[in-house]
A and B are shown apart, each in its own frame.
Chain A
Amino acid sequence: GQQVMQIPQYQHVQEGEDFTTYCNSSTTLSNIQWYKQRPGGHPVFLIQLVKSGEVKKQKRLTFQFGEAKKNSSLHITATQTTDVGTYFCAGSNAGNMLTFGGGTRLMVKP
């Protein structure tokens, strides 16, 4: 079945450093979504990417969808303590369900 892998599992950064998490799928995806879960909270939708090679920005967050639509990345510029949480990618292909990656837990030292 469809598998979505995410690396790294954990990342500690100093406040102000950049952070990137990578997502790879075993199959071609029709779309990919990103979610953020704060400690003790629930996953909250950040963005959806649909087109091959698509790049979207939300303030300090940059999301990319690979040309082959099998991988994606989330890059945060100049992390802040409010960025702390677990970032999940979730991919789906037509006729299949949304499969979540294992998540990357981001810790930011002030």
Chain B
Amino acid sequence: DTAVSQTPKYLVTQMGNDKSIKCEQNLGHDTMYWYKQDSKKFLKIMFSYNNKELIINETVPNRFSPKSPDKAHLNLHINSLELGDSAVYFCASSKGLAEILDGELFFGEGSRLTVL
């Protein structure tokens, strides 16, 4: 029943490893996002996909690669993890793009990544 679900909730891993976080939404939304929230609670957009196409790609190291196999899924793969990647990663979806009236974001519960 969860509208936006992401797995895993917690991820503890060593520096240099590769990891993935998966996200699925069952709201029928066209747009999906990945946000990074650091320890100071700043929410920074990383990527946005609209109908499986990448529309926003902020200044994110190319170790981060999003993949959208279909409208309902947006996964995030991270290569060669670094200490600074430790954060909570939120997946979100919206009916349309944020700048139009239906732009309300629905967030997943977050995936807390800890890099040792």
Contacts and interface: CB of A to CB of B under 8 A. Distances in A.
Given A96-B99, A103-B43, A42 B105 contact: no
B52 to A, nearest CB: 18
Range of interface residues on A (Cβ < 8 Å)? 20 to 34
Contacts of B110: 42
B101 A102 contact: no
Given A42-B109, A43-B43, A97-B48, A31 B104 contact: no
B83 interface: no
A95 B42 contact: no
Interface string A42-53: 111100101000
A51 B101 CA distance: 11
Q: Is the interface of B mostly helix, strand, loop or mixed?
A: loop
B27 interface: no
B92 to A, nearest CB: 8
B49 to A, nearest CB: 12
A50 B102 CA distance: 11
A98 B98 contact: yes
Give the residue among A33, A50, A98, A99 with the most B Cβ atoms within 10 A: A98
B12 interface: no
B108 A98 contact: no
A42 B99 contact: no
Interface in A56-110: 86, 88, 90, 92-100, 102-103, 105
B45 interface: yes
Given A97-B56, A103-B41, A45 B99 contact: no
Interface of A: 30-31, 33, 35, 37, 41-45, 48, 50, 86, 88, 90, 92-100, 102-103, 105
